[in-house]
Amino acid sequence: MIVFAGLCTLDIVQLVTAYPAADEKVTALAQTVAAGGPATNAAVTAAYLGEPATLLTAVGRHPLAAGIRADLAARGVDLIDLAATDEGAPPVSSIVVSAGHRAVVSTNGAARAPAVPDLGFLRGARAVQVDGHYPALARAVLTEARRLGIPTLLDAGSWKAVTPDLLPLLDVVVCSADFHPPGVTDVPAFLAAHGVRWIAISRGPEPILRWTGTDLVAQPVPQATVVDTLGAGDVLHGALTVAVAHRWPLTDTTFAEALDEAAAPATRSCTSFGTRAWMS
């Protein structure tokens, strides 16, 4: 079992030939509706890759939550809903995709602060990943996983106020090119100074930069014709968590292998519209 803790949204994704101008209406070429969010898409990826996946998040009992629950159940993800009695609407992301690019409007779950559950079930976990969207939950999950000797990973898509609290609890951090700690120019050295050993920087179609402990090595990723990059980073993190769980404890060689293994489905996910079609 791999445990993912973080954001779950309802993603409504529209494919268009061009973004609408102000006050313009356009007809979508295609539409997809699915559960989304970094931890959620990562959990779906892990389940698709054959690893039992448990998602700790806040969904609630609003009618829109039924779609989220149905999608996660269909994808084989075990949901632990920390807002099961909340009647408010779940976070909704409205996403417009055009020519391989996307525009996103989302409430990102900031209005909710789910209570931390009993984490005894973590004893059966092979790895845990957090996305930092629910700070108290992320701290608690990483703290308990570290106590139990379970490898810990962070999807570092962007810097968050809670990030400094999480870094000492992390074994693996893969950050995007948009991850910018305030006042920091050398991100890998910054992360290493906070105790993180396994570090990489993902850069879309450009090679991943892998930290060896002393310097960065460029690691090429597969190339493909891009249709939609939505969720590709989440797929990378979900697949990487599976790969790390299978190789723990890591060496420089096995970390490189894990990154290669994760990059393949992430690239494949960019060749179709939405976050699920690549799994067909």
For residue 215, give the CATH number of its domain: 3.40.1190.20
**Res 34 pLDDT > 90:** yes
User: Does residue 270 form part of some domain?
Assistant: yes
| CB-CB neighbours of 88 under 10 Å | 14
- Distance between CA atoms of residues 111 and 117, nearest Å: 19
User: Does residue 75 form part of some domain?
Assistant: yes
> Residue 173's pLDDT is what?
98
User: Does residue 280 form part of some domain?
Assistant: no
User: Tokens 């396994």 identify what position?
Assistant: 198
More confident residue, 154 or 99: 154
User: Does residue 96 form part of some domain?
Assistant: no
**Res 109 pLDDT > 90:** no
> Residue 162's pLDDT is what?
96
**Res 21 pLDDT > 80:** yes
| CB-CB neighbours of 203 under 10 Å | 13
The Cα-based distances of 93 to 10, 13, 32, 114, 230 in angstroms read 6, 8, 12, 19, 12
> Residue 32's pLDDT is what?
95
Exposed, middle or buried by CB within 10 Å (0-12, 13-18, 19+), for 186? exposed
- Distance between CA atoms of residues 223 and 267, nearest Å: 7
User: Tokens 């597969």 identify what position?
Assistant: 222
**Res 133 pLDDT > 90:** yes
User: Does residue 61 form part of some domain?
Assistant: yes
Q: How many domains does the chain have?
A: 1
User: Does residue 152 form part of some domain?
Assistant: yes
| CB-CB neighbours of 65 under 10 Å | 23
> Residue 280's pLDDT is what?
85
**Res 108 pLDDT > 80:** no
Q: What is the pLDDT of residues 159-179, one digit of tens each?
A: 999 999 999 999 999 999 999
> Residue 113's pLDDT is what?
86
- Distance between CA atoms of residues 240 and 172, nearest Å: 10
User: Percentage of residues in the chain with pLDDT exceeding 90?
Assistant: 94
Give 122's contacts (C-beta < 8 A, 6+ positions apart). Answer: 3, 128, 141, 144, 145, 148, 150
| Cβ contact 93:70 at 8 Å | no
- Distance between CA atoms of residues 180 and 25, nearest Å: 36
Domain with 250 in it:
36-89+111-275
Q: What is the pLDDT of residues 207-257, one digit of tens each?
A: 999 999 999 999 999 999 999 999 999 999 999 999 999 999 999 999 999
- Distance between CA atoms of residues 245 and 229, nearest Å: 25
